[in-house]
Amino acid sequence: MRQFCKALLRLSVVALAAINLAACGIAGTNFGMARLSEKECMMRAMYFESNRSSAEGMLAVGTVVINRLNDPRYPKSICGVVGQKNQFAQGVLTRPMTDSGAVLASQVADQVLSGARHPGVQSAQHFHTAGLRFPYNNMFYVLEAGGNEFYERRRVR
């Protein structure tokens, strides 16, 4: 009987772990993503990617997320866009937000989800740290905000 109970306990632990992993992420998405709301995913992208710099920087990052969301090449949810592998800061959906920047991120996320966009971002879907420039002739820079350079990829004619 004792061995049966131990085996049952092990099986229960394995089953519970499998259920938790299935709910947390599949197909390369980040663990914990399934537990976050669309607003939380937006907040986290803006908080970590703008380095908590300013409302303008956060709004610019939020605009990029929405631009991607509206493009058929990207996932169809904010959490899907933000959780895409190698697209946003590592751990963006799992690291703790520890300072007052989270309050600002929440306020700006509400604005973005209500339709606010940074006009300078235009249709840009990409950005990188400000101060870096790359020699590719298909990168058209449209804005510098929040410590980032925002750019569109355009076909070179």
Average pLDDT of 117-122? 98
pLDDT in tens, 75-114: 999 999 999 999 998 899 999 998 888 999 999 999 999 9
Q: What's this model's pTM, rounded to 2 decimal places?
A: 0.77
pLDDT score, position 14: 39
Residues in the chain: 157
Q: What is the mean pLDDT of the chain?
A: 83
Residue 141's DSSP bridge partners are 151
Paired residues of 148 in beta bridges = 129, 145
CA dist 137 and 139 (Å) reads 6
d(CA 100, CA 52): 9
Residues 6+ apart with CB under 8 A from 96: none
DSSP per-residue string spanning the chain:
-HHHHHHHHHHHHHHHHHHHHHHH--TTPPTTGGGS-HHHHHHHHHHHHTTT--HHHHHHHHHHHHHHHTSTTS-SSHHHHHTSTTTS-TTTTTSPP-STHHHHHHHHHHHHHTT---GGGTT--EEEETT-----TTEEEEEEETTEEEEEE----
Give the pLDDT confidence of 32-65 residue by residue, as tens digits: 445 899 999 999 999 999 877 799 999 999 999 9
